[in-house]
Amino acid sequence: MIFSNRVGIRNSSDYSPFGVELDGRTVSLEGYRFGFQNQEKDDEIKGESNSIDFGARIYDPRIGRWFSLDLLLAKRPAQTPYSFVGNKPNMNKELYGHDYEIIVDKSEKGNTITIRAVYYTDVKGSESFNTALKATEFWNSQNGKFKYQVTEDDGTVTEYDVIFQLTVKEVSEESKSLYGAEEGIKLDAYDDDIGNSLIVKQDAQITDQLFGATSIGQFTEIAYSRKSSDTPQHEIGHTLNLGHFLRGLMKEIDRYGTKTREPIIYSENVQQIIDFAIGKGDMSSSTAPVIKAKTIVINPKNEKLEGKIVEANDE
């Protein structure tokens, strides 16, 4: 028997631009944990709604500042590393989701480390979709080429096969109709924990007239003239927490042809992807990427993870 079909409201809040709850304009059920930008509140020390956990850092809306440094402070020398959304809360939103994940599975069937990510783009058959598909297929073709070796406490070595599982998804019809193709693609990527976006644009529309650009390690734009080159694969590397290297696919080149590169993934590239995911990456470099990966350990839960990458044919 149905007594009521009414849906209760668990929380209703109005905020100042930087996230302070406005006095007398918040109604919340006891035990509701979430607040500004739908992030979890940490009320134990600083009082109700004065400390908000965005995952990577803790935020104080009363002063509009983070409690810790921006991991990308070297890339933004003109901006305080404690600022929230670039001091423009009416224009920007803090992005907190992961854009890829690593799944560690140790079992009798075989040991694997799977690197997963999703790339949202335009509809099938479009330039953007075809470019994203080709770029992800390149990374997926690295399967079987690398192994991750962990030296256990007893001196034995456990070996994992490294698997790339990068997939492409079309923008949803709802997002596209409401926000247009480009913004719809980015919103779909934002809503997915391991979502990224890839869009092919006219050369003149790319930031600073570059071959391609990836912002905050998640949103990628490719110049039309470079869609058939190795630029899309290079930019996907940035979404996997890779900075620039001295050789291979992740080497930085220029549009004048004075620097060239080979489209090759090296062991140091895969090493960095995994290191940053397990919290072992070196953040001292000015090209150090933002840590946006999450690690899921399936079997067993307390498995030791720190190790080194070797190429399969170098064993």
pLDDT score at 153: 85
pLDDT score at 163: 96
User: In this structure, is the dihedral angle defined by the CA atoms of residues 237, 240, 243 and 245, taken in order, positive or negative?
Assistant: negative
> For residue 127, which phi and psi values (nearest 5 degrees)?
-60, -40
pTM of the model: 0.69
Residues 6 or more apart whose Cβ sits within 8 Å of residue 108: none
Which stretch of DSSP H or E encloses residue 79?
Answer: none
pLDDT score at 27: 72
Question: Considering only CA atoms, which of 101, 208, 229, 96 is closest in space to residue 164?
Answer: 101
Residues 6 or more apart whose Cβ sits within 8 Å of residue 252: 244, 259
Task: Kindly list the averaged pLDDT for each block of 10 residues, start to end, along the chain of length 315.
Answer: 56 82 76 75 78 78 82 60 76 58 83 93 96 98 95 89 96 88 86 87 79 83 94 94 92 82 95 82 45 59 76 71
Q: How far apart are CA 302 and CA 299, in angstroms?
A: 8
Question: Considering only CA atoms, which of 212, 214, 288, 282 is closest in space to residue 244?
Answer: 288
Which stretch of DSSP H or E encloses residue 269?
Answer: helix 267-277
**Residue pointed to by tokens 């599975």:** 105
pLDDT score at 69: 73
Cβ burial of 1 (10 Å; 0-12, 13-18, 19+) is exposed
Q: Report helix, strand or coil for 281.
A: coil
Count how many residues are written for the chain: 315
Burial 49-77 (b: 16+ CB within 10 A, else e): bbbbebebbebbbeebebeeebbbeeeee
